Amino acid sequence: MIKFFLMVNKQGQTRLSRYYEHVEINKRTILEAEVIKNCLSRSKDQCSFIEYKDFKLVYRQYAALFIVVGIDQTENEMAVYELIHNFVEVLDKYFSRV
């Protein structure tokens, strides 16, 4: 199950966040800061899947934008990785040149 969906720029600023479980506002900011730090610090040669606390992070970079999805341990990472790509393709077709 997807726990949250984040879109973040290279400076670490959250551009979009959507949570599918209730998380308090102050905990969201802490969680987002830690998740962003973990994803931005990795090189392009490293895997796009990270185990973090009690869930997994799947992220993908498009130019200066990172899309990060938090999932539980039972979810398929490759399926979520493809979901991110399909989401970006839909945005690109709808808005032209995302």
**At 16, which CATH number?**
3.30.450.60
- Written as tens digits, the pLDDT of the chain (98 aa) is 999 999 999 999 999 999 999 999 999 999 999 999 999 898 889 999 999 988 999 999 998 899 999 999 999 999 999 999 999 999 989 987 76
DSSP sequence for 16-48: EEEESS---HHHHHHHHHHHHHHHHTS-TTS-S
Residue range(s) defining the domain that contains residue 56: 2-95
Six token digits for residue 17: 């966040």
The count of C-alpha atoms lying within 13 angstroms of the C-alpha of 25, restricted to the half-sphere facing its C-beta, is 0
The domain total for the chain is: 1
